């Protein structure tokens, strides 16, 4: 069984990975070959993590709410990366 610390760490790693993926895509100079499937999968995984957090029991010392905010921010960044690639590279 996972502890709250392990679960929180995993959720934050997912959020950071999603934000990092968006930043890397936006900074990519060779974006003409950008592959949106990875970004779409990242967005879906973040949505799954967000749903799990929303279904978790309350009162986690504010950490659950912080994690939800970070995932929502990561989702926004991933979507911004998808939109950027679509506008600039036709992907």
Q: Give the model confidence (pLDDT) of 31-50 as tens digits.
A: 445 568 999 999 999 999 99
* Residue 29 clears pLDDT 60, i.e. is over it: no
Token pair recorded at residue 68: 């939800």
- In tens, the pLDDT along 51-89 reads 999 999 998 999 999 999 999 999 999 999 999 999 998
Q: CA dihedral in degrees (45, 51, 52, 56; nearest 10)?
A: 160
Spatial separation of the C-alpha atoms in residues 71 and 49, rounded to whole Å: 8
Q: Which two tokens stand for residue 28?
A: 């990519």
């Amino acid at each position: 069984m996972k502890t709250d610390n392990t679960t929180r760490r995993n959720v934050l790693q997912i959020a950071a990975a999603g934000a990092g993926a968006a930043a890397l895509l936006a900074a990519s100079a060779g974006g003409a070959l950008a592959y949106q499937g990875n970004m779409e999968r990242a967005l879906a995984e973040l949505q799954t993590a967000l749903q799990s957090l929303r279904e978790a029991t309350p009162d986690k010392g504010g950490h659950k709410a912080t994690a939800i905010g970070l995932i929502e921010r990561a989702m926004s960044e991933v979507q911004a990366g998808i939109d950027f690639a679509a506008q600039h590279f036709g992907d």
